[in-house]
Chain A
Amino acid sequence: MITISNLFKSYGRQKILKGIDLDFNKRGCITAILGPNGSGKTTLIKSILGMVLPEKGKILVDGKSIKGQCAYRSQIDYLPQIAQFPGNLHVQELINMIKDLREGQTSEARLIELFDLQPFLNKKLRTLSGGTKQKVNLTLALMYDSPIVILDEPTSGLDPIALTRLKALIREEKERGKFILLTTHIMSFVEEIADEIVFLLDGNIYFRGSKKELKTQFQEEQLEKAIANILLGEKKKNNIKVPFKAINGKHIRRQKPALKI
């Protein structure tokens, strides 16, 4: 489905991605991309969507290069990190607008019911609270039936009821054979929902494997502590050069870590 090879990206002098190689080809799988702030999670996701243009490297979606293309995005549902919409439009108008811009079957009625958005449909978007905007954001992202779903911080601003429903929804989409890629800082959410973890550190893939493998490798019962251990460990050996590291049976190239927490 998605193949990323030797992906490099920097903003000015700051190198964000330093030769990422990733391959996502499992349907019915939830992969969480984790990493500290500035590790390149959003840049990686935006590169897949063609919003960030890499300096080097290739991204293939369904075997085709995405460079200069836009049609492949109809295969991807994307939830951006910050939900901000044209303030003068009503919620229903916005939904209609996205439907108008993008072809395909939609299931917005189900999502409106799920997130209790009915009372807000005729309200202007600028009058909505942050949490309600995030629900609209989720509705827009998930109303299409695309095989790839990318969610950037899907839990932000959600109340416990909406969060529970979102988890159920994500699981349901997984059962339907979709590939779901998400980023979050909430480890309990990852623990509960993700099948696979990709840990980005300093622009490289530090770890890729299941939750169990991560816990075993870092000898921790809880995912949160295992992640904290990685970060603390890296901080200690900050200036030690470790060119290669064997993880999950694979050698993953890694350059000098320079971690800031």
Chain B
Amino acid sequence: MIKILKYSIYDLMRSRWTYVYFAFFLLFTFSLLLLSSDLSRVIISMMNVVLILCPLIATMFGVMYFYNSREFTELLLAQPIKRISIFWGQYLGLASSLSISLLLGIGIPFTFYGLFYSAEILDFLILLINGVALTFIFSGLAFFIALKNENRIRGFGLAIIAWLFFAVIYDGIFLLLLMFFREYPLEQFSLFATLLNPIDLSRILLLLKLDISALMGFSGAVFRQFLGTTLGMLVAGFVLMFWIGLPLWGIRSTALRKDF
């Protein structure tokens, strides 16, 4: 697996899209820092970009990379290598190279603006951890969807719908339900519903840390109220790990039963 991972990263590190992704974050972060040198504010702005963009790019890259390397995967499958090593290696290669682009793209500008001497370093680290976790979750989901669907257009469509669902539709439904059933006690439901969406969960992790939950919608406030900072962090972190594991388990069970 490590060898497949190594070559996947090697291949992706030469892809122009990896650099476009890196350059986008670099320019965007630099622009925000130029507009406001208050690191805390920039971290909050970056949070919104990271929460939407990381899942979207990971989803698109995941599907594209899987379909583009389909024939090469067949060549690898004919080698004396375990099936699962090939898919996990490719998935980790993709998620890692996207994460490296993200880390460097955001990390370099912040370093220039004196991050290491500021009090916001922990908030910044939470932002990066969330970005990386979302990249891993959504590239895993995309890999799983692509593995399940031979038809590329269908696979692409489903992956985009999955992203749209978690990034936009889910919150819409969530808020509608809260509105319709506002007469009832909804605290436990809200908490549970929040855990089911990794983007909401990342948002909460950041909000709890940044202490601006009141500004960022209902789900964040609920989470803060019920779990408190330390416990909330632990639960959210644990569920986020579960979210990373879920597509990996899906990839494993599908890959072991699939014909190539």
A residues with a Cβ closer than 8 A to B are 11, 46, 49-53, 70-74, 76, 78, 80, 82-89, 93, 97-98, 100-102, 137, 140
Residues of chain B with a CB closer than 8 A to A82's CB: 71
Chain A nearest CB, measured from B167 CB (Å): 29
- Please name all residues of chain B whose beta carbon is closer than 8 Å to the beta carbon of A53 when the two chains form the complex: 257-259
Q: How far is the CB of B259 from chain A (nearest CB, A)?
A: 4
List of A residues within 8 angstroms of B82 by Cβ = 70
For residue A78, which residue of chain B has the nearest CB? B78
Contacts of A85 in B (CB 8 A): 71-72, 75
Contact for B74 among A70, A72, A80, A87, CB less than 8 A: A80
Tell me the complex Cα distance, A83–B7, Å: 18
Q: Report how far A229 CA is from B254 CA in the complex, Å.
A: 43
By a CB distance below 8 angstroms, the chain B residues around A52 are 259-260
CA A11 to CA B75, docked complex, whole Å:
21
Task: Please name 29 pairs of A and B residues whose Cβ atoms are closer than 8 Å in the assembled complex, sorted by A.
Answer: A11-B259, A51-B74, A51-B78, A52-B260, A53-B258, A70-B80, A70-B81, A72-B80, A73-B78, A73-B80, A74-B80, A78-B75, A80-B78, A83-B71, A85-B71, A86-B69, A87-B11, A87-B68, A88-B12, A88-B14, A88-B15, A89-B14, A93-B10, A97-B7, A100-B3, A100-B7, A101-B3, A102-B79, A137-B75
Which residues of B51-92 are within 8 A (CB) of A? 68-72, 74-83
Q: Which of A70, A89, A101, A140 contacts B4 (CB 8 A)?
A: A101
**Contacts A86-B7, A86-B11, A101-B3 given; does A46 touch B259 at CB 8 Å:** yes
**Chain B, 1-27, contact with A by CB distance < 8 Å: what is the 0/1 string?**
001100100111011000000000000
Number of interface residues of B (CB under 8 A): 27
Closest A residue to B75 using CB positions: A80
Contact of B78 (CB < 8 Å), options: A49, A83, A97: A49
- Given the contacts A11-B259, A46-B259, A70-B83, A51 and B77 also touching, CB distance less than 8 Å: yes
Q: A residues within 8 A CB of B75?
A: 78, 80, 85, 137, 140
- Whether A98 contacts B11 in the complex (CB less than 8 A), given A80-B71, A83-B71, A84-B71, comes out as no
Inter-chain CA distance A113–B76, complex, in Å, is 24
B71 near A101 (CB under 8 angstroms)?
no
A-B pair count, CB < 8 Å, reads 71
Residues 236-260 of B, flagged 1 when their CB comes within 8 A of A and 0 if not, give 0000000000000000000001111
Contacting residues, chain B, for A11 (C-beta < 8 A): 259
Which partner residue on chain B sits nearest A71 by CB separation? B80
B21 to chain A, nearest CB (A): 15
Which residues from chain A contact B77 at a C-beta distance below 8 Å?
A: 49-51
Tell me which of A46, A70, A72 has the highest count of chain B C-beta atoms within 10 A of its own C-beta.
Answer: A70
Identify which of B72, B74, B78, B82 gathers the most chain A CB atoms within 10 Å of its CB: B78
Name 19 extra pairs, CB < 8 A, besides A80-B74, A89-B10: A11-B259, A51-B78, A53-B257, A70-B80, A70-B83, A71-B80, A78-B78, A85-B71, A86-B7, A86-B69, A88-B12, A89-B11, A89-B14, A97-B7, A100-B3, A100-B7, A102-B79, A137-B75, A140-B75
What is the distance, in angstroms, from B82's C-beta to the closest C-beta of chain A?
A: 5
Among A51, A70, A74, point to the contact of B259 (Cβ < 8 A): A51
A50 to B71, CA, bound (A): 15
CA distance A213 to B79 in the complex (A): 36
Judging by beta carbons under 8 Å apart, are A84 and B257 in contact? Answer: no
A70 CA / B78 CA spacing, docked (Å) = 9
Q: Are A73 and B11 in contact (CB under 8 A)?
A: no
Cα A78 to Cα B74 in complex, Å, equals 10
Binary contact track B41-55/A, C-beta < 8 Å → 1, others 0: 000000000000000
Q: How far is the CA of A84 from the CA of B75 in the complex (A)?
A: 9
User: In angstroms, how far is the closest chain B Cβ from the Cβ of A187?
Assistant: 26
Output the least CB separation between A132 and chain B (Å). 16
Chain A contacts for B14, CB-based, 8 A: 88-89
Across-interface contacts of A46 in B (CB, < 8 A): 259-260
Contacts of A50 in B (CB 8 A): 77
Chain B residues whose CB sits within 8 angstroms of the CB of A88 once the complex forms? 11-12, 14-15
Q: In chain A, what residue has the closest Cβ to B13?
A: A88
User: Which of B10, B75, B82 has the largest number of chain A CB atoms within 10 A?
Assistant: B75
Q: Which residues of A contact B11 (CB under 8 A)?
A: 86-89
Distance of A87 Cα from B65 Cα, bound (Å)? 11
Tell me which residues across on chain A come within 8 A of B260, comparing CB atoms: 46, 51-52
